[in-house]
Structure 1
Amino acid sequence: MKAFMVEKYGDQAGMRAAEVPDPQVGPDDVLVKIHAAGVNPLDLRIRNGDFKAFMPYRLPLVLGNDLAGEVLQVGSSVTRFAVGDEVYARPDKDSIGTFAELIAVHQDDLALKPATLSMTDAASLPLVALTAWQALVERTHVQPGQKVLIHAGAGGLGSIAVQLAKALGAHVATTASTAKVDLVRELGADVVVDYRTQAFEENLDGYDVVLDSLGGENLAKSLRVLKPGGTAISVAGPPDAAFARELGANPILRLAMSALSFKTRRSAKRHGVTYSFLFMKASGDQLRELTPLIDAGKIRPVVDRVFPFDDTLQAMEYVEKGRAKAGKVVVAMT
C-alpha cells in the first residue's frame, strides 16, 4: 500500500511517500480502508521529534492521527464491527499511521461514523473531538452555567470545544481574530475577545475552566482569569508528573516533566487554581458518546481545505505555515 513515512526526525525533508506492506490484523484489530485523514499539529510535532524523549517511535514511521473509512476485515475477537461498516477513529498513540491506504485499528479505538457526515468531515473530528471531550467532560466535568474559556475558537480544537462546551450548557468565551468573530459566534460563543485588539486577561474574569492550545505566555495569562478553584488545561503547555505517570515513565523522566511544569504549577497555586496537561487518549467509547451530538447538529465539523492523498506533504506544509483560516485540514483518497 502507499503511505507517507517519517524516515528521520526533523523538517519536511525527512518525509516521503513509499510503498509499504499491508498491515497485519490481530485478533482485536479492524482493517480499515482509509477514505480520508485529518492533518493535525500533532503530526508536525511527531515528525519534528518533539516527543521522542517519552514516545520513542521506531523509524521509519507512517504518520497520521485521524481517519474515516470502511471496514475491510475484522479479527477473530472483534464483536462490534463488520465488513462494510463506515467508521472513524483516532488510533492509539502507539498505533498511528492514517496517512496510508490501509490501517489496522484496535476495536476499542474505533466507532461507527456519524450517519450525517461525509468521510471527509468525519475524518476531521476524532482527535480534536476526543481532546475536547477529555478536557471538558472527563477532566473538568463542566456543568450547566459554568464559565469556560476556549482559546483559538476558530482553530481545529477550538471550533469543536466551543460547540461541546455550549452543548454542556456552559457560558462560553473564546479568543479569535477579527475575521473569525462571526464564525465563533455561529459556533456558540457567548463572548468573543478579538486578540488583535483586546487582552483577554483584562476583559475576562471568574472562569471555571480554561482550555489552552497555545501554551507559553498565553497559558500564564489564562491562570489570571480563573476563579479560585478553577482549572487550566493545556494541550500545548509543559507536561506534568501526572502525564508522566500515565505514560508509565521512569522516575527520572517523571522528575524532568515535573520540573518543566514547576513554574506553571507554582503560579497556579498562587492564584488558587489548578494546572493540568492533557495528551489525549484514543477512545471508541467516547467517540460513541460524541456521535449523537454530531448527528443532532450540536457539533459540526469545520473543515478549512481538503487535499488529495497524493498531496499529503503539501497539506502538512499548509498547516505548518498557518495558512488554514478555520478548522481542520483533511486529505482524501478520492
Structure 2
Amino acid sequence: MMRSVKGKLEGGEVTYFTINEKEGELEAQSVRVKVAAASTKQHNSEVIKFLGAGEEGFTFPACTDFSGQVAEVGSAVTSVAVGDVVTGIISLLSPFSACADTCDVHQLDIVKVPSARSQTDAAACIGPAVRAYTAMMYQTRISPSTTVLIVSGASANGLIAIQLALSWRAKVIATVCGDDERRFLEKNHPDIAQVIDLGSKNSSLVSIVMEETGSLGANAIIDDGVNMFAEEDHETQVPGRPSKHDVISCLAVNGKWITSQPNLQLDPPDSLKLHMRNASVCFLFEQSWSLSTAQRGVYLHILTDIMDKLAAGIIRPHVSRTVQFSDAETVLSSLPKRQIGSTVMYMN
C-alpha cells in the first residue's frame, strides 16, 4: 500500500485528503518513481472545474512537480533505469499524485537530475522552468534586444523566469509587492534593470516602464495573473497584481502579453489598444505539455535543457520552506497567496 495526497473539488472549493492505495500493474511505457520531493502550488479552481467537466467530487493530483528515484520500469522503457534520479511533471488528469510514496509517469515526461544538484532543487524548479521556457521560447522569442516585464518577480515562477531571461541577455523589469520581496530581488539579482513595487501607492507601473524603455514599452510581459478591474476596492482585486489596462499600456509595438489569467475578458477599448500596437495575447498554461500527447519530443528537449541549466547554475531555485509529507494536507490547505520562492514537501 502507498500513501497519496489528492485534491477534491466540492461545491466549487478545493479540499485535500490522504488515501492509501494499492500499486497497480506498471504499463509498458511507464516508470514507477519513489518520490523524494514534491513542490507545492495553488491550483486554479476554474481550470480544475473544466478538467473535471463539472463533476462533483472530481479528484486530481495534489502536487504535480516532483523528483525521486526510479524504482521500477515498464517493459518498453529505454530512457531511464532502476536507480536513476529523475524529475518531471504529472498531468492534472493523472490518477497518481506527486505527493505520494510512489507515482507512475510516462518515460517521456521525466528527465534525469544532474548528480551535482539536489532532488529538492529539481522539484522546486521543474514546473516554473517549463512555464518560463514555454513563455520565452515558444510564445515569444527572447533576445538581447528584448525588454521583458515579469510580474511577481520574487515568486517561484518569477525567479526562474528572471534567471532565464537574464541568461539570454534580455533587459528585465520585475514587479514585487512589499519591501521584503524588493530587498530579496535586489540582493539576489542586482542585474535587473528595474524593480517596481506594486504594493506602494507611489509606484506607477506604466510611467516607470515607459521611462525605463524610453517610452517604447516592453516587448514581452509575463504575468502571474492580473486584476480584471481597475477599481482598488473591487472584490476580486488581488494585491500585487497589475490591472489588465496597465499591462496593455506597458506593451511595445508588436509586443506579446503572456498571461496566466484563464478567465481574461477584454473590452472593446482594450482590444483597440492591442490592435493599434499590433500586439497579441498568449495564454500560459504549462500543464498543456503533459495533458497532450503531441510534441512530446519538444517537451523532452525542454526538460533536458532545464536540467542542463540547473547543472550549470543558470537556474537557481529558492526554496523558502520545506515541510514533511505527514503535514501535506494542512500545508496544501493553507498555502499563502504570495511567497518568496517555493515550498517543497519531502517524503518522511
Q: TM-score range by the shorter chain?
A: 0.7 to 0.9
Distance 2:118 2:11 in 1: 33
Q: Go from structure 1 to structure 2 and tell me whether the alpha carbon gap of 1:328 and 1:12 turns closer, same or farther (over 3 Å shift).
A: farther
| One of 182, 189, 193 as aligned partner of 2:192 | 189
Most deviating of 195-204 and 128-137 = 195-204
Q: Give 1:305-320 correspondences, 5 Å limit.
A: 305-319=321-335
2:148 aligns with 148
Distance 1:23 1:287 in 2: 27
Aligned-partner SS, 1:64: coil
Alignment coverage as a number of residue pairs: 308
Are the counterparts in 2 of residues 123 and 330 from structure 1 also a CA contact under 8 Å?
yes
Q: Percent identity?
A: 24
- Residue 11 of structure 1: how far off its partner (Å): 7.7
- Residue 2 of structure 1: how far off its partner (Å): 0.4
Is residue 130 of structure 2 the alignment partner of residue 130 of structure 1? yes
1:327 aligns with 341
Task: Supply the RMSD in Å over aligned alpha carbons.
Answer: 2.2
Q: Give 1:154-233 correspondences, 5 Å limit.
A: 154-176=154-176, 177-185=178-186, 186-187=188-189, 188-197=191-200, 198-205=203-210, 206-217=217-228, 218=242, 219-233=244-258
Unpaired segments of 5 or more residues in structure 2?
A: 211-216, 229-241, 291-298
| One of 277, 285, 288 as aligned partner of 1:279 | 285
Q: Go from structure 1 to structure 2 and tell me whether the alpha carbon gap of 1:69 and 1:261 turns closer, same or farther (over 3 Å shift).
A: farther
Is residue 85 of structure 2 the alignment partner of residue 86 of structure 1? yes
Aligned-partner SS, 1:192: strand
Are the counterparts in 1 of residues 16 and 332 from structure 2 also a CA contact under 8 Å?
no
Distance 2:330 2:88 in 1: 23
Matched AA of 2:263? P
Q: Go from structure 1 to structure 2 and tell me whether the alpha carbon gap of 1:261 and 1:29 turns closer, same or farther (over 3 Å shift).
A: farther
Matched AA of 2:198? Y
- Residue 132 of structure 1: how far off its partner (Å): 0.3
Distance 1:194 1:119 in 2: 33
- Residue 91 of structure 1: how far off its partner (Å): 1.9
Q: Go from structure 1 to structure 2 and tell me whether the alpha carbon gap of 1:277 and 1:171 turns closer, same or farther (over 3 Å shift).
A: same
Q: Go from structure 1 to structure 2 and tell me whether the alpha carbon gap of 1:158 and 1:287 turns closer, same or farther (over 3 Å shift).
A: same
Are the counterparts in 2 of residues 238 and 277 from structure 1 also a CA contact under 8 Å?
no
Q: Go from structure 1 to structure 2 and tell me whether the alpha carbon gap of 1:302 and 1:11 turns closer, same or farther (over 3 Å shift).
A: farther
Aligned-partner SS, 2:160: helix
1:53 aligns with 50
Matched AA of 1:309? F
Distance 1:196 1:182 in 2: 14
1:251 aligns with none
- Residue 266 of structure 1: how far off its partner (Å): 5.2
Q: Go from structure 1 to structure 2 and tell me whether the alpha carbon gap of 1:16 and 1:93 turns closer, same or farther (over 3 Å shift).
A: closer
TM-score by structure 1 length? 0.85
Deviation string for 1:182-216 (max 9, x for gaps)?
32232342211122221211210321100011222
Are the counterparts in 2 of residues 24 and 104 from structure 1 also a CA contact under 8 Å?
no
Distance 2:12 2:101 in 1: 23
- Residue 299 of structure 1: how far off its partner (Å): 1.0
- Residue 317 of structure 1: how far off its partner (Å): 3.1
1:304 aligns with 320
Aligned-partner SS, 2:71: strand
Distance 2:7 2:259 in 1: 27
- Residue 55 of structure 1: how far off its partner (Å): 4.9
- Residue 306 of structure 1: how far off its partner (Å): 0.6
Q: Go from structure 1 to structure 2 and tell me whether the alpha carbon gap of 1:195 and 1:262 turns closer, same or farther (over 3 Å shift).
A: closer
Distance 1:182 1:312 in 2: 30
Are the counterparts in 2 of residues 315 and 329 from structure 1 also a CA contact under 8 Å?
no
Matched AA of 1:9? E
By percentage of residues, which structure has more helix? Answer: 1
Q: Go from structure 1 to structure 2 and tell me whether the alpha carbon gap of 1:216 and 1:267 turns closer, same or farther (over 3 Å shift).
A: farther
- Residue 265 of structure 1: how far off its partner (Å): 4.8
Distance 2:24 2:345 in 1: 20
Are the counterparts in 1 of residues 15 and 333 from structure 2 also a CA contact under 8 Å?
no
1:255 aligns with none
Most deviating of 70-79 and 49-58 = 49-58
Are the counterparts in 1 of residues 60 and 92 from structure 2 also a CA contact under 8 Å?
no
Q: Go from structure 1 to structure 2 and tell me whether the alpha carbon gap of 1:14 and 1:183 turns closer, same or farther (over 3 Å shift).
A: closer
Are the counterparts in 2 of residues 71 and 85 from structure 1 also a CA contact under 8 Å?
yes
Q: Go from structure 1 to structure 2 and tell me whether the alpha carbon gap of 1:91 and 1:108 turns closer, same or farther (over 3 Å shift).
A: same
1:242 aligns with none
- Residue 314 of structure 1: how far off its partner (Å): 2.2
- Residue 159 of structure 1: how far off its partner (Å): 0.8
Deviation string for 1:28-71 (max 9, x for gaps)?
111101001000122xx2xx464322454883444211100000
Most deviating of 308-317 and 217-226 = 217-226
Q: Go from structure 1 to structure 2 and tell me whether the alpha carbon gap of 1:91 and 1:14 turns closer, same or farther (over 3 Å shift).
A: closer
- Residue 79 of structure 1: how far off its partner (Å): 1.1
Matched AA of 1:298? I
TM-score by structure 2 length? 0.82
1:72 aligns with 71
Distance 1:101 1:11 in 2: 28
Distance 2:33 2:196 in 1: 42
- Residue 75 of structure 1: how far off its partner (Å): 1.1
